Structure 1
Amino acid sequence: MSYLQPLTRLRGAAATTLHQLRPVQAPFLRLSLLKRPYSSSTSSNGQTRDQKQRQSRFKPSDRLSGRTCMITGATSGIGYAIADRFLQEGVEKIILVGRSKQRLADAAARLGEFPEGVETGNGSDEILATRAPEEDQQEYTGIGLSEDRRVSFFVGDVSESGSWVRELEEKMKDVDILVNAAGISTTNILARTDPDAISHTLRTNLEGTILTSRALLRAAIRSRSKNRNSNTEIPSRCIINISSLLAHKGGTGAVSYAASKAGVLGLTRSLAVEAATSLRGVFIRSNAIVPGYIDTPMIANFSDAEKTSLKDEIPLGRFGDPQEVADAAVFLAQNEYANNCILNLDGGLSAI
């Protein structure tokens, strides 16, 4: 998903929001903020643009070899970049989670794992299906598998994950790394924000993150026999939450979003303690990344003047790259002593 944190220029009473996001409309939420479809060009040798960039930038690694990862909000932006990088770091299986089957299939195709038709299933009945029209996806919950079973996807709205928690827990049974990257926002001052929009933002960004984390805990407890030895012999499971700089800094136009992302940091810290004190033989680390302005497709909607003004505010003078966020995710996933680790990635903006 295209994951741009709604940061604002902070100049006292004169603070103004520098971008507009589409309002949340009940009853369905879009986990992707992308306004234009992603275009993936293919070269003469059949490689997608993503594959060529990935190969030229990173050397193959095995730092995460054998691990299974689930990523929410993984169809574009930060979530997609993390999936892309984890594959390069040797992750054995990746499960992409989102509410649009078509966007999930497209993301898997860009990762080089799916043909034009994707194998999908609901329950035990698997069928061969092509990408469904957008309007046919709202009520679908199920799985899709690539031919080599390295990449799969699970279709579901995290804001409503309480209604499919059993299916989620079942999918979590072999998950070692959970990345909570799904998030939505509206841009409006609180006095003018619709109560339904507030509720939807909190349910997606905070409650959804809590429920997916809970599902991983419950799945880990059920399979605790795999973790009977010390956590130096068997790697711990890891939760990586994507927060926002607005969790630390005030701004105008995103109060409920800021509250939800501050709650994600509270969840991260509390879970790091609770998992250690209440789960016998289960080792779960809880960490968070706090991005600033990241160069996702949403940046394309900014005017040149807005981009220049924003970059002038950032000490490094530029936006972050989604792959730089993915770098942080790799560190948190593979470093067994990283627990309650909160990483700011904002180019120094939080120092202002």
Structure 2
Amino acid sequence: MITGGTSGIGFAIAERFLQEGASSIILVGRSQKRLEAAAASLQSPEKVQVLVGDVSEAGSWVRELEKEMTNVDILVNSAGISISNILPRYEPEDISKILRTNLEGAIFTSRALMRAAIRSRVRNRNAIDGETRPASKCIINVSSLLALKAGTGAVPYAASKAGVLGLTRSLAVEASASLKDVFIRSNAIVPGYIETPMVSDFTPSEVERLKNQIPLHRFGIPEEVADAAVFLASNEYANNCVLNLDGGLSAV
């Protein structure tokens, strides 16, 4: 299941997972039209399901979310919004929307996966060989370099993405401590500036300034983030693994 899977990083991850042989993909987004268009443009569209829902309001449709999670092995929390402004000029509703989408949405979807995994374990308890360790499930949270490196005009966004890293760490420990015979790994990707719709509104001078700061002198592309998602999903020892993909900007 991939939230925010209709464009940018989420779409690239969906595309790559299908190339890697995923049996099915569930794209989650707010627009039925955009979801259907994204599904149609993916390889093997017959393997793609869509789920219409706003993760910023996931608490109101959590039961449906949990039902859809029944057979989900990998959850990618990629949904995110950013509204650029300095903090004194932010409208309160914009701050709340950013926090609900970027952080609360990831919390609710992670909760749904854990609850579905618990129910599945109970249903299949008698069918599981007690000596066989079941394959783990994996949560991949998409954070941001702004969670670690200060910037201007994105205080609520930076706070929400820093919260995503806290969520990642806490889940890695709590899932092990509290879930018997259920193995859920929690990891994060920390992208820098990636060629997505989120940076499309940057002015040419801003793009040039940022690229001059990045040691590789370019923005990343979504496919490079998808590479990291494949690693985190497939490596069974990756837990609380945080991958920086920023072209070296975090070192500056």
In structure 2, the residue matched to 1:196 is: 93
Instruction: Please identify the structure whose Cα radius of gyration is greater.
Output: 1
Tell me which protein shows more helix as a share of its residues: 2
Distance 1:205 1:229, change over 3 A: farther
Deviations 1:169-222 (A, max 9, x none): 000010000000001121111111111111111111111100000000000000
User: 5 Å matches for 1:130-279?
Assistant: 148=46, 150-224=47-121, 226=124, 228-229=128-129, 233-279=133-179
Deviations 1:298-346 (A, max 9, x none): 4444343332221110011111110000000000000000000000100
Distance 1:300 1:267, change over 3 A: closer
TM-score normalised over the length of structure 2: 0.94
In structure 2, the residue matched to 1:318 is: 218
Distance 1:289 1:77, change over 3 A: same
In structure 2, the residue matched to 1:74 is: 5
- Distance in 2 (CA, whole Å) between partners of 1:170 and 1:189 is 40
One-letter amino acid of the structure 2 residue matched with residue 212 of structure 1: T
- Distance in 2 (CA, whole Å) between partners of 1:332 and 1:87 is 16
Query: Quick check: 1:88 aligned with 2:19?
Result: yes
Distance 1:300 1:270, change over 3 A: closer
Identity of aligned residues (%): 70
Contact 1:247 1:258 in 2 (8 A): yes
1:113 Cα deviation from its structure 2 partner:
4.5
Unpaired segments of 5 or more residues in structure 2? Answer: none
Distance 1:231 1:260, change over 3 A: farther
1:251 Cα deviation from its structure 2 partner:
1.5
- Distance in 2 (CA, whole Å) between partners of 1:195 and 1:214 is 26
* 4+ runs deviating over 6 angstroms: none
Contact 2:195 2:219 in 1 (8 A): yes
- Distance in 1 (CA, whole Å) between partners of 2:108 and 2:162 is 16
In structure 1, the residue matched to 2:243 is: 343
- Distance in 1 (CA, whole Å) between partners of 2:84 and 2:237 is 38
Paired residues in the alignment total: 249
